[in-house]
Structures are given as structure tokens and as C-alpha cells.
Amino acid sequence: MKNDIVKSEKKSNITGSSLLIRILVVVGIYALVSALMLTGNMSRSWESLSIRICFNVILALSLNLVVGFLGELSLGHAGFYAVGAYAGSMFAVYTDFPMFVRIIGAVLVGALSAGIAGFLISSSILKLKGDYLAIVTLAFGEIIRSFVKILPGTGGTAGLSGIPAFPSRYVGFTFAYAFVILTLIILKCFINSRHGRAVTAIRDNVISAEMLGININRYKVTVFVIASVLAGVAGVIFSFFKTMIEPNDFSYNLSIEILVMVVIGGMGNLTGSIIAAGVIVVVPELLRALEDYRMLMYAIVLIAVMLINESPKKAQFIERYSPKVLLKKLLRKGEKKSESA
Amino acid sequence: MNLLEIKNLGISFGGLRAVDDFNLTIREGQLYGLIGPNGAGKTTVFNLLTGVYRPTTGKIFLKGQNITGKSSIEINKAGIARTFQNIRLFKNMTVLENVKVGLHNRENYGVISSLLKLPGYRAAERRIEERAMELLQVFSLEEDAHHLASNLPYGKQRKLEIARALASAPTLLLLDEPAAGMNPQETAELMEMIRFVQKKFDVTILLIEHDMKLVLGICEEITVLNFGCLLAQGETASVLKDPRVIKAYLGD
Amino acid sequence: MQVFISTLIDGLNQGSVYALIALGYSMVYGIAKMLNFAHGDVIMVGAYALFVSITQLELPIPVTFLLCVIISATLGFVVEKLAYKPLRKATPIAVLITAIGVSYLLQNIALLVFGSRRKMFTPFLKLGSLKVGGISIPMISFVIIGTMLVIMIGLQLFIKKTKTGIAMLAVSEDKAAAQLMGININRTISITFIIGSALAGIAAILYSAKYMTVDPYTGSLFGIKAFAAAVFGGIGSIPGAMIGGILIGVFEAMTTGYLPGNLTQASDGFAFAILIIMLILKPTGIFGTKRIEKV
Amino acid sequence: SNAEDKNMIIIGGIGPLTGEASTYGVSVKQGAEIAIKEINDAGGVNGIKLKLYFEDDQADGSKAISAYETLMDKGMQILMGAVTSGSSVALNDYVKKDKILQVTPSASQIEAAENPTTFRICFIDPFQGQEMAKYIYNTLGYTKAAIIFNQDDSYSTGMKDAFKDQWAELEGTISAEVSFGKSTTDFGAQMTQIANSDAEFLFMPIYAEKAAQIVLEADKKEVDLPLFGGDGLDGILTYLKGENAKLVEGMTYLTPFIASDEDEAVQSFVSKYEAAYKEKPDQFAADGYDAIYVIAAALKEANVTQPKELDVDALVAAMKKIEVDGLTGKMTFDDDGEPNKPAKFAKIVDGKYVAQ
Amino acid sequence: MLKIENLHVYYGVIEAIKGISFYVNEGEVVSLIGANGAGKTTILHAITGLVPAKKGRVTFGDVNLLKMPAHKIVSWGIAHVPEGRHVFGQLTVYDNLKLGAYTRKDKEEIEDTLSMVYKRFPRLEERKNQLAGTLSGGEQQMLAIGRALMSHPKIILMDEPSMGLSPLYVSEIFDIIKQISESGTTVLLVEQNAKKALSIANRAYVLETGRIVLEGSGSELMNNESVKKAYLGE
Ligand SMILES: Nc1ncnc2c1ncn2[C@@H]1O[C@H](COP(=O)(O)OP(=O)(O)OP(=O)(O)O)[C@@H](O)[C@H]1O
Ligand SMILES: Nc1ncnc2c1ncn2[C@@H]1O[C@H](COP(=O)(O)OP(=O)(O)OP(=O)(O)O)[C@@H](O)[C@H]1O
Ligand SMILES: [Mg+2]
Ligand SMILES: [Mg+2]
């Protein structure tokens, strides 16, 4: 008996042509944005938004690994982000190597520190599941934010200022974009490997996974470490963008905002996370014209998106009008035309 | 040679003695049956064997190695795989991926090598793909390879569970009511399949089943459990004629 | 010693408010299996309703209380119908995000209607305080603790003993099977939200009486605190939510009172650290049992 | 930017209009709007009208950057903002690169006016902390302090740190030091500590709304200490009505602005503000109002006649020359961009703010 | 009594039931048999409103069930023992049974039914305070049947009630079905154990991939060659 519900595109090996398309999209976006920036055709708000989108995309992608693939609700992603941002920018502020070394060093130091934090946290909460884990990650994020206030060198509540800025917007964007791509490659490779499958299996059924010899604890820690390293990198980019960071930049509201991106984009859907991160950053800016009603509208949009996202009609709509389907139709038409010609 | 030895195994839940002083020996290459009334403790024995529960008394040896109280992961690595009475597939993964998860420990490339896409990784992934497809073919599931596991009908889900368990290359395969929810025709096919699998993969099989046709058809020996205790043990046909077994389990 | 006891009482004081809020939250959480981050904002709306009816409409106090509870319950009912019901088949996390949307929505409506500046109540429940051995305890705390206990016991009896209560448990576990029993799922969930939100209304009254203040963001704190309390107490356990709330209050009071010098700046973080340590020691919360999953 | 903007000087405002800090942003915006209207109604600056675009940053630095860029896209020529310190500091680099005149009404953290083109209307946090310490020790003669501060607000921690340093120098002792955070609703434990200390007074470097609640709690705990604080305490009486007003009787704080000041300018501002927004202005509103007048004065001083040709160096030079008699006092600006204006001590007497 | 006309059911885009019509008379035992995935469960789900039907009519007496929300259907006297048992695992056996009688009012009658259920399944009485989730597979199946009986239905739909039961209990279940039927309750039975199902059925239908391919009395089908081959394993 033939069953027609096929989960599309779940193949582990990227076929040649789709790899090419992906490379084209990646290069194309970069070329477009650079061209606009370098010719001065991009408005300033979009220039800065393009960088903000980048580090938010990295945050969303990395959290998606935890929430979407491992299936654990983490409400403390801002904590790892904070560790990366503070460690990285303290390196950049308190050393006087050449600029280039400071930037690279900051990324390494930020990523490493966040990774260590991810390792320590995740290995101490292995016994916790579900909402218990959620509350502990949330608490952890708040602890980081809190302790930053009393640690030496962090600038306390007033924040750490004097972080070197990117020499130009264009450099900043290139830098951030490169890390977005790196993040994507890392996640894709991980997910399509036996390790990625193991992680998804843990999400779907822990007992079965254990029974197949999959080391649950090791994978939980691995996933948290990868996600926190990436969040740490995002933190460093953020601190170079903002040039000053303060504890309030990393409150649990931010963790929730990242979670919103992941869920709206679709759990376990990397492309979705990218788009959603972009949308969540851009929408409030687009709504500026509404003035007082801006955040009200934002809330309404958020609810509406969730309701539409989950409605059965949307599934039908996508079945008919998704870009993939449309592209196929177009190609078919083209073929027919060329045949008839 | 004895593959599995269970000695004085026992466990209680609250006041309930679910399994009590249970002994069982299975030789390599056997197709062994475990039967008994509902609630007799059969599934619990499987759970004890696979580390889901820790026994309160007794010892379990696999190939002479003591595996009592080990974790499920270690037990799987030691060579036991199982299916579940209430099917436990990875529902949001495709049929093929389910089997690939089963192959997890057969290829051992590390996280770093997957991140960097080293050549070893590619070769290993290709082998995994091939093996998984082979396994699906054994169970005639290759056409469903890219379907979501949860969309399969019941019978196919059971087969997929067996395929997935086999993927981890066990020496001992535990099947918990593999024929439940199948009609006689399908059950007959399944019997063939189990026999075939046992030969092809060279595994020893211990199965729980309420379908006596299947038990009689493929199990050389069986053990009957009743209220957690051993009721009878021995060659299948003769055990099934035991009046105590008839009274407690088969009815007339 | 006296300082310690006073601080402990402060903690109980504060914790009892968390506990009161956590009860309603935990009930919705246990039955609808969703983290209703908008619960705190229902309290905020209730408090504004109370504020308007006391200071602007100048209604008799008992009427204002009733109004506050009715408005809160209605709000809970409406929110559930409009925002959560269409998501019955969605994952809990999708509902969580929608709840966050609702929370933003209520906050921003309040911001537009009442402005950003905090409103202060004129005292409307004057109860004075009790003096025991040099420590004075405000009477309102006894009212809060009393109400909390009554609600806790009431909820517990309602859920475990009444037909509707058991129906709620059935719905929370298996909606399809519950329907086969003849249980109206939508109605049951509506009732859950109405009760939960009415409790939010009661919390709003007592909160306002105790702290005499409300602003658009009052509720956002409670969402987190109630969540923490409910989880810490053990998911689904009503007495757990209560104890959880009280303990969190006590942790906070202790870290506020006893951290030396410069560490006081991180008192929030220390309170959370205690919470984490306790949860690592008891991974299913105080009263939580391991969810039994038969293999 | 639309057509009529061409003949106007565009001032951009940045501050929180939504989110937990929104009171501050809203007040500044409203105060500034009144000033803009007054100036434009009177014919503008040298005949040029002013236009204010105000963007929300939710007191979040990176959103402030987006707000800033949006304003730049709209043609912002002078920045009035950001309202909060964190956002202001985050804009430092941008303002430096763009070289525009920045006047922050209320960002009181030192780093917020680091830029050579940035000026500030309000006092810096350390200044207030030091002044209060000196006043309390030298003038009033108290030696044992209790402090309550907000751990999540740099305004509060900045003032507290400066107070403590100064206090140590004066050889005063600290009997109790407690804090609260963003999410604190109950101040019982804090007050217990203070009640059981031998402190002679309570220093509260915090904003009025939290202070009002703390005062209520202090009353319950029978803490009857003299109260002191910075300009944040201004407006506390709007939260404490009726008998509760008695609880802050005698409270002394440092402020540039007192809404009940008999001063004519103040009263005219207050009545316009109340008419427009149905609430009493606080010091943030006054800061916003003054910031606009300071900008106007600088424009006049620099003799700006073409709206689209602002010379920032000339404006900065002008800023250092002008003297503006604002609601928050008569002020001039020094080379660091800091205001020189007299610190007024206000005291609450008989339920009214009285300048000392 | 129960009449299904031209029923079509879809899961997304696939059509699981492709226009099925059949009926069940009062007092009858009617069996549906068919291979895995034929659509038996789906039909029962459509009758009790757990999945929506795209087209067709389902009438019970004079009422059209398709227009009715699932929870109302029970009160017309229709009980459903679902595939996969679906007991409330975190509730006790007793609470599960009580929920079975959710739509009933009369306390005494409920008590009577309860003791009837306990008599049929003594194991349930033994374990009445155990959490249903920890029962063995077969015990859960007993509970699911007992729970359905608690509503004192006019018609009971059973989805593979013998699955996972020991041979002794399988015979017993079929005896119970007979008793249920004799006590006046109509039975619509879905079974893999076709031999037993046909032997107690007044009439039966054979399903293949969403269509009815054969119908007849139990004994007719039992002797039908293709049925013998495909479903009886002979
Ligand atoms: N976690 C548990 N807690 C309490 N009781 C349990 C638990 N697991 C099993 N039991 C009880 O132990 C007994 C044996 O259960 P088990 O599942 O092993 O039976 P079984 O022989 O597999 O029966 P079936 O053939 O019906 O599947 C049952 O009475 C069951 O209720
Ligand atoms: N939720 C679902 N989504 C998609 N397809 C489904 C779903 N449920 C069932 N199906 C498909 O519908 C068809 C009919 O399934 P159904 O469960 O009714 O069969 P059945 O006759 O009861 O089989 P079994 O004997 O295995 O219980 C099958 O092909 C099945 O894969
Ligand atoms: Mg079993
Ligand atoms: Mg079925």
C-alpha cells in the first residue's frame, strides 16, 4: 500500500544541483548587500539592521539546535550569549594587540568561554527534563546577568564601554555574514551526520534511543556546547556592533525573543530560523511609523503569525504555493515551452 | 554455548512482586519463546534484561559477562536489542532514518570529522545508507523509506521496529509481541521473516507472543511465566500440553 | 536571631504572594499543559480594573472586588477562545509563544490606555498589623496566607474529587480518549481558564492591597516567578506550587538580607542559584513524582 | 523626510516609549514637544522652525542604534538623547563618526558625554552621590548610613558607588547596604535589615516610583529615618497621596527641578503640560524641555540662518558660550560637555517640595 | 440502527476511506476485517467523530452523527474501545472506569455497572487503585473495554479488543462480546483474529484499502475461499 505523505527533502546527501543553488543564494545575498552598501544605496537603518540580523540569525540557529533538534526547551540562551560577549569584549578592551588580532582573539576567547559555560551547565543538569530544564536554564541566564554586575572588569551595572567598533559597516557586515555562513555549515554538517540523527532520535523517543546504544548524556552536552559556542560568537559580534554592553542586554526577555524566532521559523527548520530572525528584527523597525501603536501591532502580528502558522489551511496553501512547488511548475512550463519551440 | 543466563531474577513494584526468582538459559542461535498470562511479568523481564529497570535480586549474564544493573546503552553495546510492546519509533523521522539511528554505533566517526566533512565521514555515511536500505529490503519496507514512520500502518511499524533493532547488530534480539495487531496471513509472513532474519543475521531471538500458532511454528523451546514465577519450561509442543499451562494460560 | 526571624517572615510574606499567583498558574499549567506566560498580565489587567473602579468609579469596595474577579475571568476565557483554542493541535511550545504574544498585547494595551506611569492605589483595605515580640506582621499577610490555603485546598479537592475535576485530568492526558468518554474538551478547557483567571483576579486584589501599585509591566514579573514556583514545587502539583512560591520568596529574602557588602548587587542571581541547586538535587521538584512511563 | 522638513532643523529624539523604562522616555518626549511648540509658535530660531522626530529604543542599546539610523535616514541634524544612559553610551561611536551635535537630557552616566560634540543637561551620577554625602556629613552631621539601591540600574549603582567613596573619605560608616532588582516587588527583607541597623539616615539613590513603595514598606517596619536621595526622587508625592504623603515629610534630595516651584516659567510649563498630557511633569519632562531650549540657544548663538547648513564646530563652540535659564536651573556648559548649574536641595515640607 | 453511507475520509491529501456504505442492525454483531492499513480504525474514528469525514452520512437511529461534536456522540449510546487502548495513564483504574460513565447521571446504576465490570474483569478490581499507565498491556486492554462498558452503551465499537491478550483471555473476550450482545448491546467489531470475529458475527464486511470488497454473514465469509486465504491463514 502506497502512503503519500512524504516528508520531503529529508535526504542526508545534498545533491549536486541543490548545493549549487545554495551556494548561489549565499553568494548572491552577500553580493547584493555589499553592492548596495558600497554604492551608498542602502539606507543607514538597513545597514545597521543587516548586522543586527546576522547576530540574531546565529542566535536563532544555535538555539534551534537545542530546542528544535534536541527537543529541550532552553530559556537561558541569552546567558551563553552574555558569556561570549563579555569574555570576548574584555579581551578586546584590555589587550593592546593590533586591531586584527584583538578581533580574532575576541571571537576565540568568547567562543571558548561560552563553550565552557555550556559544558559546565549542561553537564550539571543532565538529570533534568522538560520544564524543569527550562526553568533551570532561565535561572542560569539570570545568574550570569547578575554575576556580571559584581565581577571585576565587566563595568558592573553601568556596562563595559570602549569596545572597538568595526572599521566600517561593510566590514562589520562581511564579518558577521561570514559567521552566519560558518554557523550554517557547522549545523548542517552536524545534523546530517550520525550525531545529528542521534540527537533527533533522542528528541523523538529517549527510551528507544538509549536502547540503540546512543549515549544521551554525551549528546546533550555536545549539543549545548555547540549551541553555546555559537551563541558566544554572536555575543562577540554583538559587542563589536554595539561597542558597549551592559547586563540588561542579556535578560531573559532576550532568551524568549530568540525562542520566538526559533518557533516562528519552525523547530528543526534552519532556513525558517534565518527568515524568522530577520523578520523579528525588522518588523518592529518597519512599524516605527505607527509610533505609539508600534509594539501593540507587533504583538498582534506575533499572535497572528502563530495562528496562521498552525492553521491547517496554511499547510494546504504551502502544498500548493511553496516556492519549491512554484519553481517546479515554472521549470515544467519552461520545459514544455522549449519542447514545443 | 549459553548466550544468556538469568539467575534468580526478581523485581517488585511497591508491594507487587512482578517477577520472582526467575531463571532462564538460552543457547546461541536459539529461537526461544516467553509466554504467560497478561500481567505475568514478561515485558518486565525484557525491561530487566535491557536495563530499563534494575533488578532487586538476581543476576544476568550475556556470553558469560555480567550485565546486571548496567545501563541500556551498555547493554545494547554488549549485544542486546529489542522491540517494544507499545511501538516506540522515532515518529518524526523517516523510515530510513529510523534504521540509520539503529546503525549509530556501527560507524564511529567523531563530531569533528562530521563538522569538517572529512572523507572518512562521507564513506561512512554511504555505508550507513547502503546497510539501512538493505535492512529495509529484508522487511519489504524499501518503498516506504522516505515516509514518516508515524504514517505507516501498524503492521509495518512493527516490522520497522525489528529492522531498527537489527541494525544495531545484536547477538540477542528481544521481540515483544511482534505479531500483535496482525492478521493470520500477516502473522504467517512474519514467522517466515523471523526465521529468515535469525539465519541471515545470525542472531539469537527471545520473543514474547500470545499467538500460539507463531510460538508453535518457530520457537524450539519456551518458558511460561505466571504471576512473575516460572510455571513451565522446555520443548514447545510439550510445554503447551502441560495442564497447568492450559489452565493458567491457554484455556480450552 | 530576631533579624533572622524577621527576614524569614519577610520571605513568607513575599512568598505567599508568589504562591497565590502560582496556584492559578499551576492549575492552568497542569490541565492545559501550557506555560501561560500571559497569566501575570491577567493579574495586571485585574489590578487596573480594580484601580479604575475604586479611584475613578468610586464603587463600593466589595463590588470592585467582584468586578475585578469577573473581568479577570472573562479575560482569561476570551484569550483562551481567541488565541489558544485554534492551537489545540499545536506543540506546547507554539502555544507558549502565542501566550507571550498575548502578554505583549495586554501590556501594550495597558500602556496605551493607562500610560507608562505607575498608578498608586489609595489604601482600600486597612487592616493594620500584628505585633509579636517586637516583630510586626501586617494583617494583609494573614489574609493572603489564609486565602492561599483555602484556594489550595479547594483546588485540590475540586480536581481530585469532582467529576469536572477528573474530566480536566482526563483532557490533559488524552484529548481523543476524553472525547470518547463524552467530555466536552473545549468546555473543560474553558472552565480551566475561567477558574485560573478568576484566581488571577483574586491575586490582583490581594496584590494591590498589599503593594498598592500597578503598572503595565507588573504582570511580566509574575509570569516568570509563578512558572518558577510551579516547576520548583513539582509540575502539576497544586500544593507544590504553593510551597514552591513560598520557598522562592524565602530564598529572595535571605539573599537580600544576608549577602555581604558588594555581593548584594547580585542578590537576584544568588536566589536563582539556590533554586538551581535544589532542582539538581531533586530533579522533579519538591512534590513532583517521576512521570511513570511504562515501557 | 517630507517636503516641509527642508525648511526646518530636524532634531532627533531617542528614548524608551514602550517597555519597562517607558515613563522616562515618554516624559522627555512630552517635555520636548512643549518646548518645540513654544519655540515654533514664537517664530522659530532665527525664523527657522524646529522639527522633532522621536524614536523608541525600549531602553535597549542596540535598538537605540537602529533608532539612531532611522533618524539619520530621516535627516536628523541634532540628536536630543538618548534618554537612558546605556543607550546613550551605545551611540557614542556613531555620533563621533557622524559628528553631529548631541544633547542628552537625562543620561547621567559619565561615559554618556564622552564625545567632544555631546552635552548633557542633567547632573552626572557621581556628582549627586558626592554632593549628598558631603551635605549629609558636613551640614547635618550624620555619620551612620543605610543605603538602598537598584542593582539593575546604572543610575542607581553609579550614585551609590560615588556616595560610598565620598562617605569613606569623610570617614562615615555604613550600617546597612541593601539592594533590589528589576523584578523585586517586595521590600520587606530590605527594610528588616535597615530597621535592625543603627543607621541614622537612609540614602535612596533611586527613582520615585520604587522609592514610594519602599517608603510604604519602611513605615510598616517602623523605620523612621531621615530620607535622602538624588534627582530621581523628584515627583514622589504624585505616588503618595493623602496620609501617605506624611511618610516622606522631611525627605531631602538633590534636584534641579521642582514642579511646585513658584517660578513663573516652571508654573507655565506645568500648566501647559498638564493641559496637554493630563499628568504632572517630572524632572525628565523638564530635562527634555530644557534640552530643546539649550539646542535653540546654541543655534541662535551660532547664528544659524540656513536650516540645512549646520556647522557642528560652530554649534559646539556656541554650546560652550551660551547661558540658558531653564526649568532645571541656570546652566552653562564646560569643555567636557557637562552642565554647570547649581545643585538645589529640595525638601518636602508639609506635603510640598521646598527648595532649600 | 447504525447506517454508514458513502463515507469518504482523508488524511491531508490521501484518501483513506473511499466511499464506504454499510449498516448495523440493532442487536447484531457486525465484524469488519481487513489487512493492516485497510482503514478499519479510520471508519470507527469517523463514526465517533475523532476524524472528520469529507463526505457521506453516518446515521444512528434518526440522528446524523457527522454533524455532531465527538463528545455528544457518546450520550446517544455509542461507546468506542479505541485502538491502542488510550487509557488515562496517570489516573487510577477506578478513575478511568468512573470516567467511562461520565455522561451518566444515576449513581446507583453506575455502581451496578461497575460491579458488573469488576465481575467480568476481576483483575481490574484487584488493581483499582493502581495507575492505569503501569498496567500490563493486556490489563490495559481489559480496562479499555471495561471503561467503554461503563457508559452502558446501545452500541459498542471495538477496535481490536483481543490484541495483546493471552489465548485464555481472547476466548474470554469473545465470550464477553457474546454476552454483551446477548444483553442487548449492538456490537461493531474490528478484529485481526478473523476466525473468532467471523464466528461470533451475524454479518461481516471485508475491507481492502479503503473499500468494502466483500460482505455476507459470518459463516458465509468464513467459507469464502479468498477470505480463507487472506485472513484466516489457511
Ligand atoms: N512501573 C510499574 N509500576 C507498577 N506496576 C508495574 C510496573 N510495570 C509493570 N507493573 C505490573 O507488573 C505486572 C507485570 O507487567 P508486565 O508488563 O511485565 O506484564 P506482561 O507479562 O508483559 O503482560 P502482557 O502480556 O499483558 O503484556 C503487571 O501486573 C503490571 O501491572
Ligand atoms: N493520522 C494519519 N495521518 C496520515 N495517514 C494516516 C493516519 N492515520 C492512518 N493513516 C493511513 O490511513 C490508512 C488507514 O489506516 P487505519 O489505521 O484506518 O487502518 P486499519 O485498517 O485500522 O489498520 P490496522 O490493522 O493496522 O490497525 C493507512 O494507510 C494509514 O497509513
Ligand atoms: Mg507485555
Ligand atoms: Mg486499526
Instruction: Assign 3-class secondary structure to chain C.
Output: CHHHHHHHHHHHHHHHHHHHHHHHHHHHHHHHCCCCCCHHHHHHHHHHHHHHHHHHCCCCHHHHHHHHHHHHHHHHHHHHHHHHHHHCCCCHHHHHHHHHHHHHHHHHHHHHHHCCCCEECCCCCCCCEEEECCEEEEHHHHHHHHHHHHHHHHHHHHHHHCHHHHHHHHHHHCHHHHHHCCCCHHHHHHHHHHHHHHHHHHHHHHHHHHHCEECCCHHHHHHHHHHHHHHHHCCCCHHHHHHHHHHHHHHHHHHHHHCCHHHHHHHHHHHHHHHHHHHHHCCCCCCCCCCCCCC
For chain A, the average pLDDT equals 87
CA distance D105 to D24: 11
CB contact under 8 A, B111 and A211: no
Is the pLDDT at A2 greater than 50, yes or no?
no
Quick one: what percent of chain B has pLDDT higher than 70? 100
A167-207 pLDDT, tens per residue? 888 999 999 999 999 999 999 989 988 999 999 999 999 99
A32-87 pLDDT, tens per residue? 999 999 988 888 999 999 999 999 999 999 999 999 999 999 999 999 999 999 99
Atom number, ligand 1, closest to the C-alpha of residue B46: 18
Distance A265 CA to ligand 2 centre (A): 30
Distance B41 CA to ligand 1 centre (A): 5
Atom number, ligand 1, closest to the C-alpha of residue B38: 26
Quick one: what percent of chain A has pLDDT higher than 70? 88
Confidence of residue A333 (pLDDT cuts 50, 70, 90): low
* Chains in contact with A via at least 3 Cβ–Cβ pairs below 8 Å: B, C, D, E
Q: Is residue C287 part of a domain?
A: no
Length of chain A: 341
Residue of C180, C187, C291 to mutate, testing the E interface (most E Cβ within 10 Å of its Cβ): C180
Helix D283-301 with D22-41: angle, nearest 10 deg: 40
Beta strand extents in D181-240 (DSSP E only)? 201-204, 227-229
pLDDT at B53: 92
Give the distance from residue D98's alpha carbon to the nearest chain A alpha carbon, in angstroms.
12
pLDDT at C292: 62
Mean pLDDT score, C32-58: 93
Residue located via cell numbers 525588522: A282
Residue located via cell numbers 559567521: A179
Say if B78 is an interface residue toward chain E (CB within 8 Å).
no
Q: Which triple of cell numbers denotes residue C224?
A: 516568570
* Chains in contact with C via at least 3 Cβ–Cβ pairs below 8 Å: A, B, D, E
Local structure of B172: helix, strand or coil: strand
**∠ at Cα D343 (D341, D349), nearest 5°?**
140
With touching defined as 3 or more inter-chain CB pairs under 8 Å, the answer for chains C and D is: yes
Is the pLDDT at D176 greater than 80, yes or no?
yes
Is the pLDDT at A14 greater than 60, yes or no?
no
Of residues D299 and C268, more confidently modeled = D299
**Which residue's C-alpha comes closest to atom 6 of ligand 1?**
E134
Of E36, E165, E232, the CB nearest to B153: E36
Q: Is residue B84 part of a domain?
A: no
Is the pLDDT at D75 greater than 80, yes or no?
yes
Pocket of ligand 2 (CB under 6 A): A 1, 3, 5; B 151, 153-155, 181; E 11, 16, 34, 36-42, 83
Mean pLDDT score, E8-19: 89
Instruction: Give the DSSP H or E segment for E139.
Output: helix E137-149
pLDDT at A335: 62
Mean pLDDT score, E57-81: 91
CB–CB of E93/E135 below 8 Å? yes
CA distance E222 to E197: 10
Strand partners, E14: E11
CA distance A235 to D173: 41
Give the distance from residue C158's alpha carbon to the nearest chain E alpha carbon, in angstroms.
14
CB contact under 8 A, C169 and E98: no
CA distance A182 to A47: 21
Domain tally for chain C? 1
CB contact under 8 A, B184 and E167: no
CA distance E188 to D294: 88
CB–CB of D171/D148 below 8 Å? no
Is the pLDDT at A11 greater than 50, yes or no?
no
Confidence of residue E168 (pLDDT cuts 50, 70, 90): confident
CB–CB of E183/E52 below 8 Å? no
Residue of D154, D177, D180 to mutate, testing the A interface (most A Cβ within 10 Å of its Cβ): D154
CB–CB of C145/C16 below 8 Å? yes
Residues of E in contact with A1 (CB under 8 A): 37, 209
B175 & B240 share domain = yes
**Which residue's C-alpha comes closest to atom 7 of ligand 1?**
E134
Helix E107-120 with E93-100: angle, nearest 10 deg: 120
**Residue range of the domain that includes B141:** 89-167
Local structure of D47: helix, strand or coil: coil
Residues of A in contact with E210 (CB under 8 A): none
Quick one: A98 exposed, middle or buried, by C-beta within 10 A (0-12, 13-18, 19+)? exposed
Is the pLDDT at D184 greater than 50, yes or no?
yes
D289-322 pLDDT, tens per residue? 999 999 999 999 999 888 888 899 999 999 999 9
Is the pLDDT at D230 greater than 80, yes or no?
yes
β-strand D227-229 against D252-255: which pairing, if any?
A: parallel
Query: What ipTM was estimated for this complex?
Result: 0.91
Mean pLDDT score, C120-129: 83
CATH of the domain at C203: 1.10.3470
Atom number, ligand 2, closest to the C-alpha of residue A1: 29
Say if E37 is an interface residue toward chain A (CB within 8 Å).
yes
Distance E41 CA to ligand 2 centre (A): 7
Distance A198 CA to ligand 4 centre (A): 30
CA distance E168 to B38: 10
CA distance A84 to A235: 5
Locate the chain C residue with the closest alpha carbon to E89. Answer: C173
Distance B82 CA to ligand 3 centre (A): 13
Residues of D in contact with C120 (CB under 8 A): 212, 239-241
CB–CB of C24/C75 below 8 Å? no
pLDDT at A10: 37
Helix A130-148 with C218-233: angle, nearest 10 deg: 130
Is the pLDDT at E184 greater than 70, yes or no?
yes
CA C197 from chain centre, in angstroms, equals 9
Q: Longest Cα pair distance anywhere in chain C, in angstroms?
A: 62
Residues of C in contact with B84 (CB under 8 A): 295
Say if B150 is an interface residue toward chain E (CB within 8 Å).
no
Give the distance from residue A158's alpha carbon to the nearest chain C alpha carbon, in angstroms.
12
B123 & B238 share domain = no
Torsion of CA E227, E229, E232, E234, to 10 degrees: 140
Check whether domain A2-273 has CATH 1.10.3470, yes or no: yes
Q: Which triple of cell numbers denotes residue C71?
A: 473581568
CA distance D237 to D248: 8
CA D337 from chain centre, in angstroms, equals 15
Q: How far is CA E225 from each of CA B29, E212, E229, rounded to the nearest angstrom? A: 38, 17, 6
pLDDT at A17: 64
Locate the chain A residue with the closest alpha carbon to D182. Answer: A248
Quick one: C243 exposed, middle or buried, by C-beta within 10 A (0-12, 13-18, 19+)? buried
CB contact under 8 A, A242 and D109: no
Distance E117 CA to ligand 4 centre (A): 25
B153 & B118 share domain = yes
B103 & B160 share domain = yes
**∠ at Cα B187 (B181, B193), nearest 5°?**
120
Residues of A in contact with B117 (CB under 8 A): 189
Confidence of residue C8 (pLDDT cuts 50, 70, 90): very high
Distance C268 CA to ligand 3 centre (A): 50
Is the pLDDT at A321 greater than 80, yes or no?
no
Confidence of residue A9 (pLDDT cuts 50, 70, 90): very low
CB contact under 8 A, E134 and C183: no
To test the ligand 2 pocket, which listed residue (E8, E10, E11, E17) has its Cβ within 8 A of the most ligand atoms? E11
**Residues surrounding ion ligand 3 at CB below 5 Å:** B 43, 85; E 137
Residues of C in contact with B52 (CB under 8 A): 295
Is the pLDDT at B115 greater than 80, yes or no?
no
Domain tally for chain B? 2
Q: Which triple of cell numbers denotes residue D256?
A: 534641579
CB contact under 8 A, B210 and E135: no
CA D313 from chain centre, in angstroms, equals 26
CB–CB of C185/C179 below 8 Å? yes
**Residue range of the domain that includes C82:** 2-123+138-281
For chain B, the average pLDDT equals 91
CA distance D139 to C159: 65
Residues of D in contact with C214 (CB under 8 A): none
B181-232 pLDDT, tens per residue? 888 888 888 999 999 999 999 999 999 999 999 999 999 999 999 999 999 9
Q: Which triple of cell numbers denotes residue B229?
A: 514465577
User: Domains in chain E, start-ordered, CATH in brackets?
Assistant: 2-231 (3.40.50.300)
CATH of the domain at B178: 3.40.50.300
Dihedral sign (CA B7, B13, B14, B19): negative
Domain ranges for chain A: 2-273
CA distance A234 to A105: 14
Quick one: what percent of chain B has pLDDT higher than 90? 75
Atom number, ligand 2, closest to the C-alpha of residue B182: 25
pLDDT at B186: 84
Atom number, ligand 1, closest to the C-alpha of residue E141: 26
Q: Is residue C188 part of a domain?
A: yes
CB contact under 8 A, C136 and D242: no
Confidence of residue A6 (pLDDT cuts 50, 70, 90): very low
Considering only CA atoms, which of D79, D135, D83, D137 is closest in space to residue D109?
Answer: D83
CB–CB of D232/D155 below 8 Å? yes
Helix C2-32 with C185-211: angle, nearest 10 deg: 160
Pocket of ligand 1 (CB under 6 A): B 13, 16, 18, 36, 38-44, 85; C 292, 294; E 134-139, 164
pLDDT at A341: 45
Is the pLDDT at B29 greater than 60, yes or no?
yes
Confidence of residue A322 (pLDDT cuts 50, 70, 90): low
Of A157, A159, A292, the CB nearest to D89: A159
CB contact under 8 A, A158 and D157: yes
Of E164, E167, E229, the CB nearest to B177: E164
Confidence of residue A320 (pLDDT cuts 50, 70, 90): low
Residue D122 per-residue DSSP state: S
B71 & B175 share domain = yes
CB contact under 8 A, A267 and C87: no
Quick one: A30 exposed, middle or buried, by C-beta within 10 A (0-12, 13-18, 19+)? middle
Of residues D256 and C52, more confidently modeled = C52
Rg of chain A in Å (alpha carbons): 21
Torsion of CA C149, C151, C152, C155, to 10 degrees: 160
CB–CB of D180/D148 below 8 Å? yes
